[in-house]
Structure 1
């Protein structure tokens, strides 16, 4: 029959989690929310100091201890300057708890002393209660439980005198959980029930799903333990009711429950309850909740829960006579327990023993021996640990009894009535203490006797293991003799065949890779040649196109100057001669005609100059562009050209291209941008030249630039490409445009 130890594993995990788990949103989300609140207030403000405690605790439990301590120290420095000591007392208490969690005993004690010092400088009862809670919390972790209870009761006394606040009920609930934990450890179920109910009342008032879940679980655990000691059916029904309420609370608030593995906690408890304390007719419910716990444990990757649920399912399968299913569940439990570092060794011991027995019943002696060995190894570990821990356990029990005695003394000291009755109570307490010491001595002797029995059992197990090993070795020798001759015959054949096939594969792979490598190299060379030819062709086309454009511009400029220019000059001369012979009333009309001819001559000269600037050939790029922008400027349009670090070493053909690019940029700005100011910069660097054109015009959307069929931008790009340069355009609507062109020297 399967040993029923999974419930021990279950209660240990559940109770620890109920004591240590906080509520609210997930740790990271809570930290982010608190950080936003913290940053909202200015340094040194009261609101920031009050949020510091929660923010530091959230950082600490989110593995950011150094940041938490730095924030605490920064705000403690501000709090110490306040007249009211409640802020410093509160922050020093938080620091003391955090230092204790870091095992920095000296720093924790120092922070506790400072918290008590500043607590004397305030009249705020809630702060005094929180300082007392912090001292009790540290005492509880130092195994000074009686002193911890004194501080916790003192904290509750201060809280009862406090005015109502947002944090008061939460702080009361924290004290109730600590008292619940201590009294559970002392098996004081009535007191544990009292503080569990108080926690439940606060959770109901605050409508806190996480608090309700923990309170229902704690109440269920209390009544289950009370049933074990009294076998009162009322208690087991109450335990069932509270566990079901915990499940209902979880299912109704899944999105608000930060720890999904809580569902597997309560499902394991309820399955164990139905399996061990209810009639067999409840076996179906036990099976349902065990499967629920296993599924939830798998979903949350909680290997301990999966192992515990599998153990319960194995026990149900054995009760149903299904040994194969039980074996599968046991193997699952074993596999899951191997993933966890916290699994109780007693569980593994039970798994190994039951697996060994099941395999022995199936006449699978090899597996039976294997698990029997595992059982003995685990048994030795537990035995050695128990021997080493026995003295410590008795010492702790004795110290705990002393602490209980101290607690009773404190309770008796608070009762100021009937001194004679107090003396009788002290005498009764001393007698009870003597009796308990005698019982401890008796228990120690019984343990020694039990260890002797365990030693005898271990020897019997070793004898049975030796017999099984002898039988198994005989079978292995017979099988080995039968197989050895067969293996010798085929080994040579397999070796030769394997070597031949391997050599052939190596040769084929080598030939394939060599051929593939050659093909890839040829393809790569071909692509490079094609790209080179394409580039050369493109450059040739651009060269011819630009050369043709310049030749055509030169021809048109020459024709305009020689032909139309001469014609206009002759016309002006004729008008001048006609002026002397004309009547006085015709003189103004002739002068206007001569003025218009002068304007036409100037415009003709400007057009011819733009088509083929003579200044560029005579004086260079800088003089030419300076003269060009001065001609293009108007009262409403300011154009400025700047040359930076220019050494006048640019080749003539490149100067002409730059001149054409600047012409096109200025023309575009004048025609389309409606600009009031244009700045042209030509910069010479060590390795390249830079042209920057800026205007304050209306701008445009650069994303549609590629879709526009603009001859101006096409000409600019062609010349930039011929110079092997790059062009970047930045423009914003109603702000202006910035164009930057770079080309190498």
Structure 2
């Protein structure tokens, strides 16, 4: 029988979609506390926004919907100012529909989130999209569209997860594909994917707050599948892996699934009493969370060991109680009814056997299945001889109708052959047309690639031209500094030396002091120009120290500059460090020159291969929408350097709150 004993695992993988049950070990307190602390202490709105979204999702998993709504509201106030946050927010807000059980709008919002996130090429966006597509595939499974669910997992979700490098998400995807194969009773194929799922979950970082739940699910499902494959040694190893985690959480609602798999293992090794004990533990766990559906299915799991022990009276009572409970899915009620009819037949109660067999046919909508009709006729013969004779007459009439149908089928088959020939001709035509279209598509692809290369080359030329202009401007500035600063000082010093040389033997001490001051100022000016060219602290001590020195050096009595750094690696290539330094230097020079502010905040932090720069001032602001009309070379150089590192720059400026530059660089 298809889908036999697979029901608990369909429930496990649907945890993200079923609004009233979320399977969890309930050990998220440490993680939630750390997120709350970040939200309270960070001064960067973008970090506060994404952290609030993540905290809301965590509370939603724990069914703390009021707290989830509170942090969703915080994040939604910040998100409109940041394009990535705004697009990510579509996914996080979709969980509101999930908590209400509105699967239609939940699916629409998931599809919208996946579309909006396609323009981002970061590991985080790839991993999140993989998780979104996985949820969309589960929705397809709920609609009995397993073929589309499989396609979405293999062709869309898995490549995204591999790009994102998220082994935990990838393991979950392999597990989901395995379950689809299990639903279709392809156990060997399912085991291949479960082995991949186990391999990836062992590679995944333990720091994820869902890592333990994901690992427990995989090994529970693997144990059940190995039992079906009669690999009982392997099943025991997987059960032990799951128990090593779940034993520390006796009140977790994941225990129900574990005990169901353990009970099935005991059944396979013929330890029937131990199987009953495991099932009873699972039932108690399900009732602890008022999970009636899982409890009912755990009760039905006793059917196999009871049948093996020929305890049909117990089977009759158990199945009757389940059917009359009213808390069943249609597919479960159909199967329970069929097995109850079988139990009554074994007990010699033909009347009730016939009753429940008829009920089964109504539920399964299979009145035209000859096998079921023959079974009912046989039961009727035992139940009532007169009724049996009537049924025989009906069958004879049915046979006459079948003969007539057979004659009609000959005509239908002739038409079918003709139609098949036409279809064959159509397929040949489509095949030829497809080959031609393929050739056209290949040519279009070549043209597209050439155009793309031309655009890329043009963009590289524009960037190089901007960099050359910037370098030329820098050379002019250095020449001007040398001419106006050190040059004039040294000329003055030369004239004074000549004056002293041509004067009398008596040397004016004041003149010597003045010459000494000029010499010191020249040395200081020379050091300043040298530092602007290449800061010594950057080469010797690294980017963070150099940025700190830069902020300290530019600070004056009128302008206070605060510098904050977080997780800046010392392994960043030197060329990229110089570019980042120049970006911050340009932003500070612009703020000091134009903003007329008194406070400037510089915040730099690194998250793996992404570097974030925030420079805020409390000055007079400017019209950032009209940036393209500015003639200054500074902002052009700034944009060129950001583009050189495949970065993005956002500007928020107004007269009331000053100017904030938010830059995200790929290093």
TM-score (norm 2): 0.45
Larger Rg: 1
TM-score (norm 1): 0.41
